[in-house]
Amino acid sequence: MILKSNSFGANQEIPEKYTCSGANISPHLVWENAPKHTKSFALIVDDPDAPKKTWVHWVVYNIPATLKEIIEGHEIEKFGAKPGMNDFGTIKYGGPCPPKGNGFHRYFFKLYALDTDLKMAADPTKEQVLEAMKGHVLAQAELIGRFKRD
């Protein structure tokens, strides 16, 4: 499975409009080569370079298997996907927002192909989604972007 974006390239800088310094809208994402028996996808975006702990920016699960793309700035819940809780305390995309002067941080966009829809309580955390996914991951794809604030 391959995950790409028209918004930024692999290991390239994420444009400001997708960050807290800009419009803070979600970037375009597209994937291909999902396994044949995929029932849904889950998407987790986090920053392992954040001070103190990995910072969770976006959690979405039960993305329909028929969906192959997330359009820039689009609310994916309109397609039947379910949002999870990020570390900003919201259930929506929270763009890169590293501390000023802290250098480049890496942002991992991780897409999981699952053999089921997840049965979850409302607004689960990343950890709860990862736990529910155990034994159901058919494939995983990853796209890394970078961002810094001066």
CATH number reported for the structural domain that contains residue 118 in this entry? 3.90.280.10
- The whole-angstrom separation of Cα 60 and Cα 45 is 9
Evaluate whether 85 touches 125 at the Cβ level (below 8 Å): yes
In whole angstroms, how far apart are CA 66 and each of 32, 59, 136?
A: 11, 19, 18
What's the distance, CA 117 to chain centroid?
17
Q: Which residues contact 104 (CB under 8 A, 6 or more apart)?
A: 13, 49, 98, 146, 147, 148
Maximum separation of any 2 CA atoms in the chain, in Å: 45
First to last CA, the chain: 35
Domain carrying residue 117: 2-147
How many helical (H) and strand (E) elements, i.e. helices and strands, does the chain have? 1, 9
Domain count, the chain: 1
Q: Which of 87, 105, 84 is nearest to 96 (CA)?
A: 105
- The whole-angstrom separation of Cα 118 and Cα 132 is 7
pLDDT tens digits for the chain (150 residues)? 999 999 999 999 999 999 999 999 999 999 999 999 999 999 999 999 999 999 999 999 999 999 999 999 988 888 889 999 999 999 999 999 999 999 999 999 999 999 999 999 999 999 999 999 999 999 999 999 999 998
What H or E segment, with its residue span, contains residue 126? helix 126-133
pTM, two decimals, is 0.96
> Residue 114 burial (CB < 10 Å; 0-12/13-18/19+)?
buried
What's the distance, CA 58 to chain centroid?
5
